[in-house]
A = this chain, B = another copy of it.
Amino acid sequence: MPVGTQGTVKTVGSEDLERLGFQLVLSNTYHLSLRPSADIVEKLGGLHKFMSWKGAILTDSGGYQVMSLAHMRKITEEGVSFKSHLDGSEHFMTPERSIQIQGQLGVDISMALDVCPPYPCTRDEAAEAMRLTHLWAPRNLAARPESQAVFGIVQGGVHEDLRRESADFVTGQPFDGFAVGGVSVGEPTEMQRPVVKLTTPLLPVDKPRYLMGVGHPRDILHAVACGIDMFDCVLPTRMARHHALYTLKGRVNAMGKQWAEHDGPFDEGSQFPQTERYSAAYVRHLFKAGESLALRLATLHNLAFYARLMSEIREAITDGNWPDLLKRYKDA
């Protein structure tokens, strides 16, 4: 899932995402509920119509943004009170309210409101976050209209016993899919993979398994090998805006001097129809000149890289040539 926090995958249009072959985008309950507001999006026919996106949409619950962006937040068993980072207005988010907002947005997959503590956190903090996540799980489900899919989220930090307890509890609830939450929240990669390896096999194989916020191409390959089906990550789009382009040989700096007279693409192995008419020298020039077309072309490049990665992953699973794929992406 490309990330379209404010109802737009930064710098590109829905027609671009269609051409790139994406099936699902992620958008954000917290941001959209504050601006333009769930009422307005609903009145305008829902988020699909608002952003003119014919594919599917998943929204996160807003819980993570309340923790990372909002001011004056206070968590109780009832929900989270906070002040908007935009205008200081006061809000109270509950599982019921989150599911209701996601219903107003009219998305295909809504995420249960959980508590996701940022890294680093103590074992006690991880346990308390898990306790509230479990307390809220049935309330998310009870608030769901019949037509709305809701995914549950497993918490538990980096602690094996908590992860097992959380997976056990959450998968016991009638969610439509399950997510591994609480990873990619600032922890080092070497702490992330064991959590994914431990938690993923605890989730049922007959429902979508979603790893939130991951990630690097090789982390995605690792997680798929563990059984993960779905990902969202800001990396391809965010890195593009910082002139970091994904190639099979790793990320390259599009402003590097080596591209100044380079008439070909950044990666001979990754020529994409969306960007192939522009040389690396031209994209570098646009970045140097501060031209916003640079951000668009770099974003299209990285999204195309990820779209191809996911497409090749699906092929490798079907064709049984996983080792070849790992070899192809070993430096990515």
Contact = CB atoms under 8 A, between A and B. Distances in A.
Contact of A281 (B35, B40, B291, B293): B40
B13 A281 contact: no
Classify the interface of chain A: helix, strand, loop or mixed. loop
B44 A281 contact: yes
A292 B289 CA distance: 17
Interface in A290-305: 291-293, 295-297
B263 A44 contact: yes
Contacts of A159: none
Interface string A9-51: 0111111000000000000000100011000100111000011
A285 B36 contact: yes
Nearest to A15: B277
Nearest to A37: B260
A292 B291 contact: no
A32 to B, nearest CB: 9
Interface in A201-260: 260
B12 A293 contact: yes
A143 interface: no
Given A8-B291, A45-B263, A292-B292, 12 more contacts: A6-B285, A10-B293, A11-B292, A14-B277, A35-B289, A36-B288, A40-B261, A44-B279, A44-B282, A50-B281, A50-B285, A292-B296
Interface of A: 6-8, 10-15, 31, 35-36, 40, 43-45, 50-52, 260-261, 263, 277-279, 281-282, 285-286, 288-289, 291-293, 295-297
